[in-house]
Amino acid sequence: MSSPPSTYNSVVVVIPALNEEQSLPLVLADLPSVVRVIVVDNGSKDNTAALAVGQGATVVAEPQRGYGKACLTGLGEVERLVEEEKLNVEVVVFADADYSDHVHAIGALIDPILADQQDFVLGSRLLGNREPGAMPFQSVYGNKFACWLMRMFVGKNDYTDLGPLRAIRYVSLKQLAMVDENFGWTIEMQIKAIRHGLRRVEIPVAYRKRIGASKISGTVSGTIKAGTKIIYSVWKYGRGRG
């Protein structure tokens, strides 16, 4: 068996970021060598963008708040790089900027795609080792509930998590025609991956406490909004809409 590459020269990493000046430099330092890192500044008021540029990342601005909106903007930059700069992109990785993901280990997600064994590899925090307190009860419950709902609406599938750390073949991602601009982005991708017959697998990933307060599960209002969006998104995409 050949050893994994030390440089992933056809892999782009997209990182949405909002006021993550403390954590983002750590994330960027831990990444293996890839062809391009795109940080989407989602309206930060701190030095997130400047620090990202200083560490060699490509920074694109998306002032409209929303996790999905930031991911869509990042994907738009990937498309621009492919079409205008003729960059060879086989795999796109999505990761969070809060240092909760162990991005140094993303090769485990990338390698099955480059080996043409999978099209979509999802990192499951619920199957992996979680640092105590990394996922509050409402987050664990919400993820389990969402996966149960997906089984109800979409049929049999093996999803256990809506984990933010995920890798997908670029041509497959284009086929999904992603549209969600908020919390439903992860659900949309997972349901559409089933609908489009993508080869997919979940693998356990380690998860640590994020640096800074969560924009979602860290507040009551954020938890309620996320929960409502999860239910709506499973219904919407599970019914084949969007």
Residue 145 falls within a domain, yes or no? Answer: no
Q: How confident is residue 1, by pLDDT bands cut at 50, 70 and 90?
A: very low
Whether residue 84 lies inside any domain: the answer is yes
pLDDT at position 214 over 80: no
What's the whole-number mean pLDDT along residues 83-105?
97
pLDDT at 19 > cutoff 80: yes
CA atoms within 13 A on the CB side of 226: 24
* DSSP letters for 36-64: EEEEEE-S-SSSHHHHHHHTT-EEEE--S
What is the number of domains present in the chain?
A: 1
- Segment 121-180, tens digit of pLDDT: 999 999 999 999 999 988 898 899 889 988 888 887 889 999 999 999 999 999 999 999
Instruction: Assess if residue 157 is contained within a domain.
Output: no
Q: Is 221 within the bounds of a domain?
A: no
> What is the model's pTM?
0.91
Is residue 13 in a domain? yes
**Number of other CB atoms surrounding residue 51 within 10 Å:** 20
Residue 226 and residue 228: Cα distance in Å, rounded? 5
* Comparison of pLDDT for 2 and 152, the residue scoring more: 152
Owning domain of residue 181:
7-134+162-210
Query: Coil, helix or strand for 166?
Result: strand
Q: Decide: 124 and 144 in contact? Cβ < 8 Å.
A: no
CATH number at residue 97: 3.90.550.10
Instruction: Evaluate whether residue 143 is within a structural domain.
Output: no
For the chain, what is the mean pLDDT? 91
Spatial separation of the C-alpha atoms in residues 158 and 178, rounded to whole Å: 21
Residue 139 domain-assigned? no
Say what the pLDDT of residue 154 is. 86
